Amino acid sequence: MNVTLVQQDLVWADAPQNHERFEAALLAAPGSDLYVLPEMWNTGFVMQPAPVAQSPDGPSLRWMHCMARQLDAALAGSIAVRLADGSYVNRLYFVTPDGVAAHYDKHHLFSYGGETRCYTPGRERVVAEWRGVRFLLLVCYDLRFPLWSRCRDDYDAILYVASWPTRRELAWRTLLRARAIENQCYVVGVNRVGSDPVCDYFGGSAFVNPYGEAQECPDGVPATLTGTIDLPFLRHFRDKFPVLAERD
């Protein structure tokens, strides 16, 4: 399976402009099975969601469905969602061309940045299957919590979508590799570039194999990168070196 990471600068709080940017990037990289966008790809990492959050069937999800059909591929990326009870979640959608949309609500909210004041944490781990590959869906700060992402023989790859700032670059690069090594899995980490009213973002989007070896997007600029998930290789590696069978 081919997975394309879409590292992009975001227009602050402007979903239509971000739709246009990502559409151009996606159409310039045809042929993948899955395209992964950053955290809150349609607005930036907003801590005042009321003006920009969308309903669960809002225009950004409809855009994802449209692009999935056009590309005959799945799309993954998170947006700020307003629920019927008036609360907000940071929701990672995994959308397939047949109209199915799995979703994961970010569990570990970034209290240091005020996310706990605005959003409600999700409670469920979510694994989405696409074309025979099982993906654990996670968002940004979840990367720091290895027990939440621990493989339970239930996934082949982890998707991390992020708005991870430049000043914590080393943690991002280190932890992506650690999650791949300790879980004997592929890890796809997609971060944004550019800046918002609070932070600067370096990118560092990476496709990491189960040995911890990484392909990376160039830092600081919009870019796409395609990596290949090789399931026979992954299964052989797990059978030959059964780390997961001896986990705590």
Compute the mean pLDDT over every residue in the chain, rounded to the nearest whole number: 98
pLDDT in tens, 72-125: 999 999 999 999 999 999 999 999 999 999 999 999 999 999 999 999 999 999
Looking at residue 63, its pLDDT comes to 98
For this structure, is 140 an active site residue? Answer: yes
The structure tokens 């151009």 sit at: 24
Measuring CA to CA, which residue among 65, 68, 8 is closest to residue 39?
8
Beta carbons of 29 and 4 less than 8 angstroms apart: yes
Active site residue 240: no
Domain at 2-246: CATH architecture: 4-Layer Sandwich (3.60)
Verify whether residue 66 is a known catalytic residue: no
> Residue 85 and residue 92: Cα distance in Å, rounded?
19
Q: Which of 118, 140, 151, 217 is catalytic?
A: 140
Question: Which pLDDT tens digit goes with each residue over 33-64?
Answer: 999 999 999 999 999 999 999 999 999 999 99
Task: Pick the catalytic residue from 106, 115, 216, 217.
Answer: 106
d(CA 230, CA 233): 5
Q: How far apart are CA 200 and CA 192, in angstroms?
A: 9
pTM > 0.85 = yes
pLDDT-derived band at 143, boundaries 50, 70, 90: very high
Query: What pLDDT is stored for residue 248 in this prediction?
Result: 86
Catalytic residue among 39, 115, 118, 217: 39
